[in-house]
Amino acid sequence: MHCGLVGSALTMFRRFGPALLLLAAATMVGTAPLQEVEATDAGALMLLDSDGDFLPDSVEWALMTSSSSADTDGDTVPDFIEVVQRGLPRHESPPLPLDQEMRIVITGPQSGAPDNFSWLHVLLRFVGPADNLTAFSIVLQLAALPGVQIPLDLTLFPGAELRERVTSQQGRWVHLAVPFAPTDFLALLSPCSVRADATVGGRIVSSTVNLLEVQDTICSIVPFGSRHVLQSIAPVAAIGEGMTNRVCLLDLAEVGSGPGGTIYEVVDAYCDDCNEMECGPGCAQSIGWIITLPGGLDGVVVGK
């Protein structure tokens, strides 16, 4: 594993920094009616939803749910609900209580995309009207800039796509997709974290995406039962026959903290079944890796 050098990250940050720092004091309050917008070419590709479950194929790849089934594990709880509640969408499990929920996801460019931009997805489930969203903030945290939280205002990102679905029993679903940053920029900033906090109907909800560059690929850390997976944010080519439907699971142990964040060691790693995935031949080689995560796994782990 290797990370963008601090000097290079700071150089790139200075280049892009003015645009980021203009996104100050992010607060997005749902006072205006939510309306779906017409998707751009890039947005239409990013929002492609093959199984109609309100999770774009790009998001399903990043979270390791099936883009050909609206209920990956067949437990009658829709994938969208299990994802937004940070439940167990790949393992049969009882439904969690009906409540306000939020999940953020970062995806990479899809095949045929006109650019190399990553996208930030905000997934919300409202129980009641959308104006129950009374506070929203999102920050970028960099291991290269310990202790610094860069506020982002998603309303200032051009090209945002918004859609919603009203269900009879599972509340109102909202999906905001925003062109976020070039993937080469993310590579130079990694490891980094994006954290969102919201107050919805009086309930405070948080969600975090941790990004790492692993073997020249931007990955996020995704819960898989009691373990985690470093999953690429964009689809990668198959690595060979006999490796389909497998993913590399990691056991992470917290071993300390440093200026850049919480430090974890990969203490075990092995392949296991997972739809539409590819488990690389170097899975076992990840044992012993040391991973630094700004903000730690808070907001990533199941049920938090």
Written as tens digits, the pLDDT of the chain (304 aa) is 333 333 443 443 344 333 333 333 333 333 334 444 445 566 677 889 999 999 999 999 899 888 889 988 889 999 999 999 988 888 888 888 999 999 999 999 887 777 888 999 999 999 977 677 889 999 999 988 888 899 988 777 788 888 999 999 999 999 999 999 899 888 888 889 999 999 988 899 999 999 988 878 888 988 887 788 888 898 876 554 443 456 788 889 999 988 888 999 999 888 876 665 666 666 778 888 888 888 888 756 544 4
Q: What is the CATH number of domain 6-216?
A: 2.60.40.10
| pTM listed for this prediction | 0.81
Residue type, 251: D
pLDDT in tens, 136-161: 999 999 988 888 899 988 777 788 88
Give a three-class secondary structure readout of the chain: CCCCCHHHHHHHHHHHHHHHHCCCCCCCCCCCCCCCCCCCHHHHHHCCCCCCCCCCHHHHHHHCCCCCCCCCCCCCCCHHHHHHCCCCCCCCCCCCCCCCEEEEEEECCCCCCCCCEEEEEEEEEECCCHHHEEEEEEEEEECCCCCCEEEECHHHCCCCEEEEEECCCCCEEEEEEEEEEEHHHHHHHCCEEEEEEEEECCEEEEEEEEEEEECCEEEEEEEECCEEEEEECCCCCCCCCCCEEEEEEEEEEEEEEECCEEEEEEEEEEEEEEEEEECCCCHHHHCCCEEEECCCCCCCCCCC
Residue extents of the structural domains in the chain? 6-216
pLDDT, residue 41, reads: 65
Q: In this structure, what token pair is assigned to residue 72?
A: 């990956």
CB-based contacts of 17, cutoff 8 Å, min separation 6: none
pLDDT, residue 225, reads: 76
